[in-house]
Structure 1
Amino acid sequence: MVHISHTLEDIVLTRRIPAMIFTGFQESSHWRQETQRYRALARVAQQVCIFAAKPLPHDSTVDALQVALSGDDPLRQEWFVVIVSTTFSVVLCGQDRLEASTSEATRQFDTFWTFEPQIVAHVLDLLEIVIDHYRPDRLGQFQAARQNYPPHPPDAEIVTAFTTELIRFEERLNQELLRAEAQARAGAERFRQVVQSINDHIYVYAFLADGSPQQIYVSPNWISLTGYPLEKATVDWDFWPSLIVPEDR
Structure 2
Amino acid sequence: MSGMAHQLQGRFVASVHQMPWVDSVGMRGRVEDVFQRIALRNAVFVTSPSAAALEFLVNRRVLTEEQAVVEANILPLNVKGATAVTYDAKAPLRLLFCGRLERQKGLDRLMLAIPKVGRPIHVLVAGSGSQDLELRELVRRVITPPHTVEFLGYVSDVGELIDEAHLAIMPSRSELEPVFVWECWARGRAVIASAIQAFADLSRQGPLHLFEDQAELVELLETADSTNPLYISDFSRAVDAVSGYKVDSRLTQFLNEEG
Give the TM-score of the pair, scaled to structure 1: 0.28
Higher helix share: 1
Please say which structure displays the higher CA radius of gyration. 1
